[in-house]
Chains A and B, each alone.
Chain A
Amino acid sequence: NAGVTQTPKFQVLKTGQSMTLQCAQDMNHNSMYWYRQDPGMGLRLIYYSASEGTTDKGEVPNGYNVSRLNKREFSLRLESAAPSQTSVYFCASSEFGGSGNTIYFGEGSWLTVV
């Protein structure tokens, strides 16, 4: 039972390069999320998609774009990577939107921008 799958798991980028983090869930969930985790900061929401066809900004959206490709997939794009985007990125999903629903997390993608 895969749950939430993210790729790649590790990536090193040079400043100014672009890349896309891929995420897919196999739980038929409606809502999907991208969080970043930084030491001592907990998790912060970057973008979310309440349902297929919609996306909205979270707490820290600057420098990122997202695409909800279909119900299963939700990608996060860094157009011009900066060292401040060095972080661990987590994709997550929930059956329905609304913060009362349990969120299921992927295993994370470690991104380093040099």
Chain B
Amino acid sequence: AQSVTQPDIHITVSEGASLELRCNYSYGATPYLFWYVQSPGQGLQLLLKYFSGDTLVQGIKGFEAEFKRSQSSFNLRKPSVHWSDAAEYFCAKGDSGAGSYQLTFGKGTKLSVIP
């Protein structure tokens, strides 16, 4: 079965520090990979996605992620965290197979930001 692993349940960083959230996925021939962010009481908002091509993907709010096929990873990074980045982050994987509609989500990483 497909799986997406986010090893860190909760991360705390200081405002202005750099951030890296880890995501590993089970192997898929051509994975579609996503990072979503969820603020408390809100729905999920897409930060960025990888389908193919350049393995370094830029997203909204200054986030980027790097696809590493050899490590089955798609880690999310931000060089300088802002207090407003405190939220829960979800990595998700889809497959390119015809008729495949299901995204598999990781269990999420909650980010706390210390002023």
Do they bind each other?
yes
Residues of chain A at the chain B interface (Cβ within 8 Å): 4, 31, 33, 40-45, 48, 50, 56, 58-59, 90, 97-100, 102-108
In the complex the two chains form, what is the Cα distance from A27 to B115 in whole Å?
38
> Contacts of A107 on B, CB cut-off 8 Å?
41-43
- B98 neighbours in A (Cβ, 8 Å): 98
Show 27 A/B contacts (Cβ-Cβ < 8 Å), sorted by A: A31-B101, A40-B9, A42-B90, A42-B106, A42-B107, A43-B44, A43-B90, A43-B105, A44-B105, A45-B102, A45-B103, A50-B101, A59-B102, A98-B96, A98-B99, A98-B100, A99-B95, A99-B101, A99-B103, A100-B32, A100-B51, A102-B46, A103-B103, A105-B44, A105-B45, A106-B43, A108-B41
Binding site for A on B (CB under 8 A): 4, 9, 32, 34, 36, 41-46, 49, 51, 90, 92, 94-96, 98-103, 105-108
